[in-house]
Chains A and B, each alone.
Chain A
Amino acid sequence: MTSRFVLKRDYYAGGLMLLLGTGAAVMGSGYRFGTLARMGPGFLPVVLGVVLAFLGILIAGTALASSEPDDKRFLPDNPQWFGWLCILGGPVLFIILGTFGGMIPAIFACVFVCALGDKSATLKSSAILAAGVTVFGVLLFHYLLNVPFPLLRGVNL
């Protein structure tokens, strides 16, 4: 019986939905609710928020009721903190360098950093891949598709 109260992933799942639903309902109640015949902008957000919160309770409740053990954890067995950092870091660099530098540095930095996230990647292999993708990306998006994105800001190429 004690295992029933060991934290299962579904408790977190239900809790998250409860939180999101309540949040949506509370925020939605700030908008005019209206009547059924003349619904205000707040009607659906509140209703959906309440439904989502209710579903959250049900999810956690069914996890409590079922005796099946849940041996999976929230974090995977081998968390890839560095890999995740690289995957998220690449696009962040794309935003920063794209805004201030231009297309070429943005593509290169994005692919380079993302590629470093793989276990077997080296600085050299990542740089070669990044250079290749940059050439391809510039040809495709700048010259062929004319995406409005300067190659290098401040330099007229």
Chain B
Amino acid sequence: MIETALQDLWYGFGVALEPHNLMYCFLGVLVGNLVGVLPGMGPVATISILLPLTFGMPPVPAILMLSGVYYGAQYGGAICSILLNLPCHPPHAVTCLDGFPLTQQGKGGTALGITIVAAFIGASFGITEMIFLAPFLVSVALKFGPAEVCSLMLVGLLAGSTLARGSPLKGIAMTVLGLLIGIVGTDIETGEARFTFGITELYDGVEIIALALGMFGIAEFMNSINNTEAVDMKYAKVGIADMFPSRADLKLAFWPMIRGTFIGSLCALIPGTGPTIASFVSYATEKKISKTPERFGRGAIEGVACPEASTHSSVQGDFIPTMSLGIPGDTVMALLLGALIIHGIVPGPQLISQHADIFWGLIASFWIGNILLVILNVPMIGVWVKLLSIPYRYLYPSALFFVCIGVYAANNDMFQVGETLAIGVAGYVLLRLDFHPAPILLGFVLGPRFEENFRRSLLISRGDLMTFIERPISAFFLSICVLLIVAQIYVWLRKPKFIEEERSIETQLPAAPYSELTG
């Protein structure tokens, strides 16, 4: 099995190193790194804007580029946290706690250097995990009938809405709302138009780009306009020479990195727990097992290494359920799944065998992309630091233009721009009512496939709902759902100590002017 995996990987490198694909991979990580550095821009909005521009491309470079934006943004996000104390990317919010004190002590360069080492180790492990685990998951998933797929999606939806931050009830409500938005349009089986209010443009359903850019673009700008403080660049001076950590620092950071990597890769496998949760859990763990916990929060190098390693390993591992099962774990993955569907690729267990070039090419491009990012970040650190000082008042008008033209370019249709605006206003109202928009996208992307499989499984069982319980794999997934709900009720009633501890870390974070909820 290892041998075939290595052979496939070799083939993947062949795909990813084709000049055309390599160029788009580089473009993706470059844009990702850029938006990661810019406060107030996130990977969700960026991928949505770039998505329409990939329509004319073959699917392989398109997916390589869009994925590159996601993991490239993780490299940039850490710079923002460490040098400016701005937690503008949720997965890197924890890094502020120790990264910024290090910067104040003049060791910001070291922190950045450690971050890059941790990122590379974490990402490498995440990719390796994907190489071996994804084919295994596929061999299991190929046995699934519609009932199993349905129950699995239910697990994904429930985990995605309850394990994220915020109230689980509201998360579930948002998932259901997303499913309802997914229903808009023509019914596949009967051809009846549903929830279209007689608007012809809605017969094809709500555009995924309009939904993502409304929720994560327009609503986001409404939230942060005139709400951002001037960026304090006092400490943000870093040269290449400062970036190489000393042997003592590396020694101190080594085990935290390994532990962080491990926690991150575990979190990647549980649907709904993306990089943000991984970074919180690993920081809390590291603080607990440290012999000198009082150093945390005052510039402990471990407090930077550990969450960064876990974020990156979780980011790469996130691709496993998306690519092998077709069940996205978070917003970015939901968007990438949408991109696959737009490019005519059916997500699910058959993806690896039918589109081996995409799957193995993607994995190979992860390696290449991560190496490119290390190269980009060490010599060019001065450029990224300069970019940090671009004020928000120049950023958001330009970003809004990109939103408009991106949505327009999807169908060359002005109606979509209006649709995005309407969704944006609704998204802002939901944001003010403490609803997190991330599960909406999850429900929206999975909705049509959920309905299709639900109908099919009941057609096969002649309307007998027991089919979901009688089939053992499906029953297993449903029991996980029950477990998730019971656990939520337990947490709500008893408020266990470890949850409280994590909350207390969250309250120490500097207030984020941006609420981009990509994590």
Residues of chain A touching chain B, judged by Cβ–Cβ distance below 8 Å, are 9-10, 12-13, 16-17, 20-21, 24, 27-28, 31-32, 35-45, 48-49, 51-52, 55-56, 58-59, 62, 72, 74-76, 78, 80, 83-84, 87-88, 90-92, 94-95, 98-99, 106-107, 110-112, 114-115, 117-121, 126, 129-130, 133, 137, 141, 145, 147-149
Contacts and interface: CB of A to CB of B under 8 A. Distances in A.
Contacts of B187: 31, 41
Contact of A12 (B180, B405, B433): B433
Contacts of A90: 397, 400-401, 404
Contact of B451 (A31, A44, A120): A44
A107 B218 CA distance: 16
B393 A121 contact: yes
Contact of A118 (B393, B417, B420, B463): B393
B465 interface: yes
Given A44-B454, A91-B404, A28 B194 contact: yes
B204 to A, nearest CB: 16
Contacts of B464: 36
Contact of A13 (B392, B434, B458): B434
B225 A31 contact: no
Contacts of B408: 98, 147, 149
A80 to B, nearest CB: 5
B221 interface: yes
Contacts of B451: 44
Interface string B160-184: 0000000101101100110110010
Contacts of A24: 180, 195
A48 to B, nearest CB: 5
B400 A111 contact: yes
A112 to B, nearest CB: 8
Contacts of B434: 9-10, 13, 72
B412 A52 contact: no
B170 A59 contact: yes
A91 B400 contact: yes
B455 interface: yes
B396 interface: yes
Contacts of A72: 434
B368 to A, nearest CB: 24
Most-contacted residue by chain B among A10, A17, A72, A130 (CB, 10 A)? A17
Interface string B404-442: 110011001010011011001100010011110000000
A13 B393 contact: no
A148 B183 CA distance: 30
Contacts of B425: 88
